[in-house]
Chains A and B, each alone.
Chain A
C-alpha cells in the first residue's frame, strides 16, 4: 500500500507537467502509461509505456483497460497528405451531409518553421474515457457504450440543446438536420463494426497508412504496439481537459 504511494510520488517528481490534473496522471498510470513531459510548445504530450516497471505482466495491463474490445485509433500524422479520401469515405459510409463532418483534416501552417512548413492533422471523435459530452447530455442521448467504449448517439433521444457540442473540447459534433439530432463519429459502429467489419471506413480508405484502428486492450493489435513503446513519442490532444482521449498521435 505505502510502497505504491511512494512509487507514485517518485514518479510524479521528474515530470514537467504543470498543466495536467492529477486524475489524468493517475489514469494514465493505471493503463501503464506515464506522461513524460511537454512536447512541442506545451501543447502536446508524449505518453510512453512503462509496462515493465509499472505492472507485472501484460495480462494485468490489459485488465486495466475498461472496455473489451477497447477501440482506439492511432494517427501517424507525419504521413498525412490531406488527400481527404478518408473524409469522402466517411461521408459515403455514414451519410454525412455536406454541411457537417465527422472526421476532418486540419492544416497546421507555420511560416517560421524550418524546412517543412505544413503539417496535416486528422481529427475525429476521441471517444474519451471521461467524455464531457456524455456527462452534459440531459437525456442520455449520447452515451459511452459499455462494451466497446465508443461514444455513441441515441438519435431519437436528442433534444437538440447542443450542450454536447459546447462541451466537446475537440469540435467533433454537429447538428444533423436529416436525423434531427446531433451526429458524430461512432468509429463506424452502426455502418460497419456492428456488421462484422473490423476496420473503420476512414482507416480503410487511407492510402498512406495514417489511420490505424484497433483494439487497445489486445496486446497483439497494431494500436497496442504503437502506443506501448518507447522509441517514438505518442501524444493525445488537449490532455489538460482531463477527458482522457482514446485517439493517439504518433509519427511513423
Chain B
C-alpha cells in the first residue's frame, strides 16, 4: 500500500500496466479471457458515457453541447447518420444473400442482421440525446404526423425497420426451416423500409431549400451508395474480428462471401469517389454560399478532415488496399476496413457541419456574424459518440459469445 505513494514505483507500474494492457489487447484477438476484459472496458465506457449524457440532459443541451442557433446540428446528428447508415448498409449487403437468395452472400447474413440491429439501436440512442424532448416524439409522431416532413418519414420508417428486423432476427435464431420463407419476407420488408428510410434521411438534408450546400437530389442517392459502402466495411471488420475471437477455421463459403463483399465494396468506393468529385466540381459553379462552404471544406478548417480522413482514410487507402489484396488477403481487407471506418465517420461529420458553417447573412457584409461560423464539439457530445461506439463493440463481443459466432448458415 505504501509503495503506491512512491512516485518511482508508480511510474514503473504505469509502464507495466500499459504493456499488460497492450498484450491483453493482442491476446484478445486470439480469443482468450482478455475478451471479458474488453467487454468490461466497453461496458465501463458505456456507463461513463451514460453519466455524461444524463448530466448533459440535466444541465440542458445549450450549456452542455457546443451547438448554437446558427449551427444546431453537430456531431450527434453526424453520429446518428453514421450508425443508421452503417445499419442500412449491413441490411442492404446481407439481403443480397438472405432475401434475394444469392448463395455466396448467405454466410454473412446472420451476423449482419444482428449488427444491423445493434447499430440502429446505437443510432437511436445517439439521437435520443440530441432531441430536446424525445418523449414527446413518441406521442406526436402518431397524433400529429406531418407527411411532408422527411424527418417524420425517416423516424417512422426506421422504427418500422427496427421492428421487422428484430422479428426476423428472432426467426433466424429459431433456425426452423419452415420459417425461412417468412423470415425472407420479413427481410424484404425491412430492406424496403431501410432503403426508404436512408433515402429519407438523405432527403432531410436534401430537401432543405434554404441550405445550398445540401439542397438537391444528391444526398438521398449518395446516402444509399454510402450506406452500402459502410455496410461492406462493417461486414469485413466484424466478420474478421469474429473469426479471430472464436479461432474458427474460415470455410471456403465464408471466404468466397467476404471476397464478394470486398468486390462490392470496391465498386461502391469507386461510386463514392465519383459522387465526391462531382459534388465538388458542380458546387464550384454554383451559388456563392456553396462555393464558400466548399472552399472551407477543401482548403479551410476542414481541409484535414477532407483530404486526410475522407479522401485518404475513407476512399483511397481502402480502395488501394482492396486492389492490393486482390480480394483474397483478408488481413489487408481488414486493415482497409479499419481505415474506412474512421474515414466514414469524418465523412458524416463534414457532411452535417459543413452544410451549416456559412453564415445566413454572409452576402450582406454583416459584422454580427463571421462569414464562416465555427463549431467545436463539446466533451459531452464526444463522449456520447464514444459511448455509442463502445456500445456497438460491446454488443458485438457479447453477440459473438452468446450466438456462438453466428455460425449456423441461413438456408
Interface positions of A (Cβ within 8 A of B): 19, 41, 43, 99-100, 104, 106-110, 121, 123, 132, 135-141, 156-163, 165-171, 173-175, 177, 180-181, 238, 240-243
Q: Which residue of B lies closest to A111 (CB)?
A: B365
Let me know if B209 and A241 touch, CB within 8 A. Answer: yes
Across-interface contacts of B149 in A (CB, < 8 A): 135-138, 163
Beyond A110-B365, A138-B149, A159-B140, 7 extra complex contacts between A and B, CB < 8 Å: A41-B363, A136-B151, A138-B140, A138-B145, A139-B140, A175-B69, A175-B72
Known: A140-B146, A163-B151. A121 touches B70 (CB 8 A): no
* CB-contacts of B344-362 with A (<8 A): 356, 360-361
- A166 with B73, Cβ < 8 A, contacts A139-B152, A158-B136 known: yes
Residue B198 lies at the interface, judged by CB distance under 8 Å to chain A: no
Q: List 10 A-B contacts (CB under 8 A).
A: A104-B368, A106-B361, A107-B366, A137-B149, A138-B141, A139-B137, A139-B141, A139-B144, A140-B146, A173-B69
Q: Is the CB of A168 within 8 A of B210?
A: yes
* B151:A138 contact, CB within 8 angstroms: yes
Interface residue ranges of B94-150 to A (CB < 8 Å): 130-134, 136-137, 140-141, 144-146, 148-150
Residue of B nearest to A123 (CB): B361
Which of A163, A175, A240: most chain B Cβ within 10 A? A163
Distance in angstroms between the alpha carbons of A137 and B140 in the assembled complex: 11
B389 contacts partner chain A, Cβ-Cβ < 8 Å: no
How far is the CB of A61 from the nearest CB of chain B, in Å?
27
Known: A138-B151, A139-B145. A177 touches B62 (CB 8 A): yes
Is B367's CB under 8 angstroms from A169's CB? no
Known: A100-B69, A132-B208, A180-B132. A108 touches B365 (CB 8 A): yes
Contact of A175 with B360 in the complex, beta carbons under 8 Å: no
- B366 lies within 8 A of A138 (CB): no
Residues A177 and B60 in contact, CB atoms below 8 Å apart: yes
A167-B364 contact in complex given A139-B140, A173-B69, C-beta closer than 8 Å? no
In the assembled complex, which residues on chain A have CB atoms less than 8 Å from the CB atom of B61? 175
Q: How far is the CA of A121 from the CA of B364 in the complex (A)?
A: 9
Number of interface residues of B (CB under 8 A): 41
Q: Is there an interface contact between B207 and A136, defined as CB atoms closer than 8 Å?
A: yes
Q: Closest chain A residue to B62 by CB distance?
A: A177
In the complex, which of the residues A106, A136, A168, A171 contacts B150, with contact meaning CB atoms closer than 8 Å?
Answer: A136
Chain B nearest CB: distance from A42 CB in Å? 8
User: Is the beta-carbon distance between B69 and A165 smaller than 8 angstroms?
Assistant: yes
Q: Are A109 and B72 in contact (CB under 8 A)?
A: no
CA distance A132 to B214 in the complex (A): 14
Which of A43, A140, A159 lies in contact with B137, CB distance below 8 A?
A159
Contact B146 A156 (CB under 8 A): no
B72 engages A135 (CB within 8 Å): no
Question: Contacts A132-B210, A169-B210 known; A43 to B363 CB distance under 8 Å?
Answer: yes
Inter-chain contact A106/B73, CB cutoff 8 Å: no
